[in-house]
Amino acid sequence: MVFPEERIACLERRLRVLEETNAFLWKEKSFAVENLESAVTLGSFDTSLNRLDDPRPILEEILARAATILPFKSAAVYLVTEDSSFTQALCSPHGQGAELEELVSRRIEDRTFAWALKRRKSVLSGVSGPEPLHLLHALSTISRTRGMFVGILEGEWQHLSDYSLSLLSVLLSAAAGALESFELYRNLRRLNRDLADRMSQLEESRRELEEYRKFLEQQVEQRTRELSRANEEMKMEIAERMRAEEDLRSSEEMLRLAVEGMGDGVWIWNRTTGKTDLSPLSAEILCGGAEDPAFCISKSASAEAWERIIHEEDRERLSRRKERCFAGDAAAYSAEYRVMGKEGQERWILERGRVVRKDGDGRPLTIAGTHSDITGRKKLEDHIRFQATHDFLTGLPNRFLFEDRLTQVLARAKRQKRKAALFFVDMDDFKKVNDRYGHPAGDAVLKEAGARIVSCVREMDTVCRLGGDEFTVILPDIGGAGEAEMVAGRILEAFGEPFFLGGESVSLSLSVGIGIFPDHGETMEQLLVNADEAMYRTKGQGKKICFLPPRNTFAP
């Protein structure tokens, strides 16, 4: 039996516990509310972004607010430049910039910097070891990475609270958005200025054109009066000396001269006789100056002779377009086709044709047109296409063509139940080559490196340069990991020979990460991630070649 005194004491103890619990919960609630208010404040940048010409006020506000969240000894903001590198934009205190630069260089070399770019929260480094405790946090938006926040912390990492790290993430996320908005506003202001300048130029041009139009009207009126008088005087003479057919021949000759003056040849095709009449320039364009009858045609040739010199792959397409014009379905046509020279070289011709005379039933009788030699234009187009899909330094396929080739290889491998391999190849310590011998020497090494890799693979394989010292190799239709490892071994063996720079022998090693389809991913994204991870493991483990454990398999 519980006595009243004991029951009262028990109730008093329970009451104290409840009061302590209530006080703790109230304190937690107040702390949470304060942190939420801080998060809202940190996410709001009051700077008038639409009036700024320099991001420095934003960067100063970022560093100032970060210092209120965590005890930073020094901190800096790095921004992405046009060549995708990072440069220190602002440091606080000002004199700590060199120390932070050295720290960032070491983080770039050990890939911590690259890892931090892929995350949306803080990455701590220097937790153990001689380096000071420091923090990296990417300044990223949905669309792109804007920069990196780097700060050296005071105290031990155990004293850092999750609330403070979360608030820092809120601040830096908002800061990335503010930097993106600043860039957008700056571009808009520049575009508005350009637009205003162009509008002013257009208005000036409009005034000049209006004045010129009035001048031309006066000239036309005067010239019209003069021509009217001249026409009256010549009317009788023209009626006597000119006939409809002579008008036509004269017009054709004038047209031919005008067109050939612009570098185009003229031709006329009589549907009734099947004969063509080529101007000298048109015959020269088609024949390319050849004298062999097999590669040229006469100025008055049949349709069959004309067709004979056209590349066989283009004949049917050209014939279909002409037939539509002959049938009356089209008033004109144009077509590009190839003609073959005596030495086997191809030349590109642009042919245009139009019905110029019909019979009483509306059927075409005569078609006239022009020939233009567009070989130079075609070569320029091919050169532009090559530049768009290949690396300018090594001539290897670039990232754009790499993704297209990899997509095709994986699709074919999936259909045929075959395997394919993807290599990520990274040159170890390549930065030292640039630092010691200069960028021209580094470029020469990259060119030779690309050539060595190409020499180790099949013609059906693809070697790409993604940028910097990173290369990729795509191996379609392989037997498995063993075959891929043999190819990687040949590549490593090729790099066993030194590079010669300025009379010095320089040896460079490689790290190769290999992903096998479908063992390490059935999609391009999975395979890219796993091959990249394998390459970084290679560096971390001091190996030369690395495979990740298989993740997906099917029976080929």
In a domain, 172, yes or no: yes
Q: How confident is the model at residue 337 (pLDDT cuts 50, 70, 90)?
A: confident
Whether the pLDDT of residue 47 is over 60: the answer is no
Average pLDDT over residues 252-267: 61
Q: What is the pLDDT, as a whole number, of residue 343?
A: 65
Find, among 526, 506, 482, the residue nearest to 427 by Cα: 506
pLDDT tops 70 at residue 546: yes
Mean pLDDT of 93-114: 86
| Higher pLDDT, residue 310 or 414 | 414
**Is residue 470 in some structural domain?**
yes
Residue 455 confidence (pLDDT): 94
How far does CA 270 lie from the centroid of its chain?
A: 50
Whether residue 328 lies inside any domain: the answer is: yes
Average the pLDDT over 95-108 and give the result. 85
| CATH for 302 | 3.30.450.20
Give the Cα separation of 63 and 71 in Å (integer).
11
Question: Order of strands, edge to edge, in the sheet holding 275-278?
Answer: 300-302, 275-278, 265-270, 364-373, 346-358, 332-340
Condensed to tens digits (0 to 9), the pLDDT of residues 212-258 reads: 888 888 888 888 888 888 888 787 766 666 666 666 565 655 555 55
Q: Do 459 and 497 sit in the same domain of this protein?
A: yes
> Which residue has better confidence, 280 or 291?
280
Together in a domain, 437 and 533? yes
State the pLDDT confidence band at 287, using cuts at 50, 70 and 90.
Answer: confident
Could you tell me which residue, 133 or 465, shows the higher pLDDT?
465
Strand spans (E) along 428-534: 462-467, 470-478, 499-501, 504-506, 510-517
CATH number of the domain that residue 95 is part of = 3.30.450.40
With respect to residue 441, please indicate whether it lies within any of the assigned structural domains.
yes
pLDDT by residue (tens digit) across 367-392? 888 888 887 787 887 778 887 888 88
Percent of the chain with pLDDT over 90: 17
Same domain, 272 and 371: yes
* 8 is a domain residue: yes
Per the model's pLDDT, the better-predicted residue between 463 and 210 turns out to be 463
Residue written as token pair 């210092």: 67
Residues 161 and 82 in one domain: yes
The confidence band for 555, taking pLDDT boundaries of 50, 70 and 90, is very low
The larger pLDDT score, comparing residue 157 to residue 217, is at 217
- 61 and 169, same domain (yes or no): yes
pLDDT greater than 70 at residue 302: no
How, if at all, do strands 332-340 and 134-140 pair?
Answer: unpaired
Q: Which residue has the higher pLDDT, 223 or 50?
A: 223
pLDDT of residue 295: 43
- Mean pLDDT for all residues in the chain: 80
- Pair (448, 493) in one structural domain: yes
Q: Which long-range contacts (CB under 8 A, 24 or more apart) does 447-456 make?
A: 447/393, 447/394, 448/499, 449/495, 449/508, 450/394, 450/395, 450/396, 451/394, 452/491, 452/494, 452/495, 453/425, 453/491, 453/494, 454/396, 455/494, 456/487, 456/490, 456/491, 456/493, 456/494
Q: Is the pLDDT of residue 74 over 50?
A: yes
| 442 and 542 within one domain | yes
- Predicted confidence band at 294 (pLDDT cuts at 50, 70, 90)? very low
Question: pTM of the prediction?
Answer: 0.45
Residues 326 and 360 in one domain: yes
Q: How far apart (Å, rounded) are the C-alpha atoms in residues 449 and 426?
A: 11
Number of domains in the chain: 4
Whether the per-residue pLDDT at 160 is higher than 80: the answer is no
Domain limits for position 397:
390-547
In a shared domain, residues 184 and 281 = no
Kindly state whether residues 281 and 414 are assigned to the same domain: no
Q: Is the pLDDT of residue 96 over 50?
A: yes
Q: Are residues 480 and 416 in the same domain?
A: yes
46 pLDDT exceeds 70? Answer: no
Return the pLDDT at 443: 92
- Checking if the pLDDT of 488 tops 50, the result is yes
Lowest mean pLDDT among 21-25, 317-321, 531-535: 21-25
- Say what the pLDDT of residue 528 is: 92
Q: How many residues does the chain have?
A: 556
Are residue 364 and residue 300 in the same domain, yes or no? yes
User: What is the end-to-end Cα distance of the chain in Å, rounded?
Assistant: 81
What gap in Å lies between CA 515 and CA 531, rounded to an integer?
Answer: 4
Residue 71: predicted pLDDT: 86
**Residue 415: predicted pLDDT:** 94
Instruction: Tell whether 224 is covered by a domain.
Output: no
Tell me what pLDDT residue 471 has. Answer: 95
Give a yes or no: residue 197 inside a domain: no
Q: What is the pLDDT of residues 339-355, one digit of tens each?
A: 876 666 778 888 888 88
pLDDT score for 19: 80
